[in-house]
Amino acid sequence: MSLISEDTDPSGSRAAARPVAATPQPNRVTFNRLELNRILNLYGRMVADGEWRDYAIDFLKDRAVFSVFRRASEMPIYRIEKDPRLARKQGMYSVISATGLILRRGHELERVLLVIDRKLSVV
């Protein structure tokens, strides 16, 4: 037996019970729109080339991580990390390989992504 009458929307009562989080929690590090746009443009090109197949985004308390996979069942081949604690030191952006080796670290995301963004060059 249902407590909700037929005239009311069944999802309305559930939506009122849950708090709505329109903005990310202030204690989480996230990628902003421009950073995410640049990363997803690179990801789209690599998917079109057949090199990458899946990705994951993690927003943690101390860093944001964009992981790239060749297959969904494997370990990530690259991790693009944003760690604001390193902003005044080595730079908050870094690209880390599957073995844990930091390939490049810097203050600008564009320059850091050049290590995995292989463009054609005129010889």
Global confidence as pTM = 0.71
**According to the model, what pLDDT value does residue 38 have?**
92
Closest CA to 36 of 71, 7, 65, 72: 65
Chain length of the chain:
123
* Residue 56 predicted with pLDDT over 70: yes
* Residue 120 predicted with pLDDT over 90: no
Closest CA to 29 of 66, 68, 84, 80: 84
Order of strands across the sheet that contains 102-106: 54-59, 64-69, 78-82, 93-97, 102-106
pLDDT in tens, 81-113: 998 888 888 888 999 988 888 999 999 988 898
pLDDT in tens, 15-46: 445 555 555 556 888 888 999 999 999 999 88
**According to the model, what pLDDT value does residue 2 have?**
46
Closest CA to 82 of 49, 60, 103: 60
